[in-house]
């Protein structure tokens, strides 16, 4: 009797272990086959073959033969960072990988005005499923141009520090803004790509992104994408708008007839609204920055010296250019991407209705904050909205 009971008990244990092992194996197999995008070949009514978005929930092993066929867009992530940013950058990379890039495996370009350390390269490359590339910035793109009076620039920094203006006395910050405004897209490592997604340290994604945002930009002919908009500190850009109007007087043809003018000016370009897209998150087509119109615009701004004599940021520069030189339909608001850059974040409303999986609280979104420019953007795009209704949707 004891032998029989022992036999039954051992049988139950082995059965449990077998089931447990099978379940774990199946789970691992499922995970393995859902981390890589798959290409779906579909036929249009005209009989043409085209690619469909590869995200397939519950991808099965039968689709494994197609895993390597997915054709990514010509795109990369890009991060301007210092070696000392590593601690705050690693969680940002992990967030991008977990929420998006573990399925699409896009490359990642890191740029620095100094050589990256081996530790930086090893720890960042371990997280990235695409190819990680590390580049040194040309000294001429991170130094004073010949026409800048460095004594005058130093006096500006001193006065801005006294006025308690954020980054007011930061010399390197000014070089960074100039580089991001006019040079990053010309770096040799960026030359092979058309689209980029800018990522900075201490940023975080809150929602799974189950479609290829780069392919979305390409397929819908979008030139600039954003998720948070905000007003600029006027004291940092006192002459930026005047300098822009001087440029427009020389090149009136630069203005697009269907531009997003009301986002940056409420009075027929007389004054600047101070609204801009927060460029710490931007997904854009570098052909726009590399084009003749923007190149002339940046050269005009650079010669004026405002990056050093004031503290012009790349965000208002990019935003003004996109709003005035592009068709407003070329600009896209990534409302479905939950994103945080301290101290603000965007959290999508109606998450269940949109099929989103997010780890953020919609009622705390920056969208309807007094300093947010979302209302101005929606009006400029001629999108009707009920502010009170939208506020309720976030609760």
Name the active-site residue from 282, 310, 363, 387. Answer: 282
Q: Is 148 helix (H, G, I), strand (E, B) or coil?
A: coil
Residue 282: closest CA among 351, 347, 229: 229
Cα–Cα distance measured from residue 113 to residue 391, given in angstroms and rounded to the nearest whole number = 43
What letter does residue 356 receive in the DSSP assignment?
A: -
CA distances from 381 to 90, 127, 166, 375 (A): 36, 38, 31, 10
Active site residue 282: yes
CA atoms within 13 Å, Cβ hemisphere of 278: 25
Phi, psi for residue 224 in degrees, rounded to 5: -145, 130
| 269 touches 245 (CB < 8 A) | yes
What is the phi-psi region of residue 119: left when phi exceeds 0, alpha when psi lies from -120 to 50, beta otherwise?
alpha
Catalytic residues: 282
């Amino acid at each position: 009797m004891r032998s029989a009971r022992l036999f039954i008990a051992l049988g139950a244990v082995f059965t449990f272990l077998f089931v447990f092992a099978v379940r774990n194996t199946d789970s691992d197999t499922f995970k393995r086959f859902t981390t890589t995008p798959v290409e779906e070949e579909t036929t249009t009514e005209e009989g043409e073959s085209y690619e469909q978005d590869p995200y397939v929930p519950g991808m099965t092993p039968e689709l494994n033969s197609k895993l390597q066929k997915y054709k990514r867009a010509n795109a990369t992530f890009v991060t301007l960072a210092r070696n000392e940013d590593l601690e705050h950058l690693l969680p940002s990379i992990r967030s991008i990988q977990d929420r998006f890039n573990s399925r699409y495996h896009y490359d990642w370009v890191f740029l620095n005005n100094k050589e990256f350390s081996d530790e930086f390269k090893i720890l960042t490359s371990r997280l990235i499923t695409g190819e990680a590339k590390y580049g040194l910035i040309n000294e001429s793109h991170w130094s004073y141009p010949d026409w800048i009076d460095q004594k005058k620039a130093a006096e500006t920094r001193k006065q801005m520090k006294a006025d308690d203006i954020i980054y007011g006395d930061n010399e390197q910050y000014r070089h960074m803004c100039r580089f991001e405004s006019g040079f990053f897209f010309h770096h040799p490592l960026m030359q092979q790509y058309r689209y980029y997604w800018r990522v900075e340290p201490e940023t975080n994604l809150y929602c799974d992104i189950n479609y290829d945002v780069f392919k979305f930009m390409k397929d819908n002919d979008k030139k600039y994408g954003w998720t948070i908009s905000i007003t600029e500190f006027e004291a940092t850009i006192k002459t930026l708008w005047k300098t822009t109007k001087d440029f427009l007087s020389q090149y009136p043809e630069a203005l697009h007839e269907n531009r997003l003018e009301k986002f940056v000016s409420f009075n027929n370009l007389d004054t600047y609204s101070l609204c801009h897209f927060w460029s710490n998150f931007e997904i854009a087509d570098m052909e726009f920055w590399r084009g003749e119109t923007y190149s002339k615009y940046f050269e005009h701004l650079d010669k004026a010296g405002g990056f050093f004599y004031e503290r012009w940021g790349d965000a208002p520069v990019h935003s003004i250019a996109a709003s005035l030189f592009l068709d407003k339909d070329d600009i896209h608001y990534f409302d479905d991407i939950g994103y945080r850059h301290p101290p603000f974040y965007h959290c999508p409303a109606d998450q269940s209705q949109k099929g989103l999986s997010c780890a953020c609280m919609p009622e705390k979104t920056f969208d309807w904050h007094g300093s947010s420019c979302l209302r101005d953007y929606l009006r400029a795009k001629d999108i009707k909205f009920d502010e009170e209704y939208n506020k309720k949707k976030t609760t």
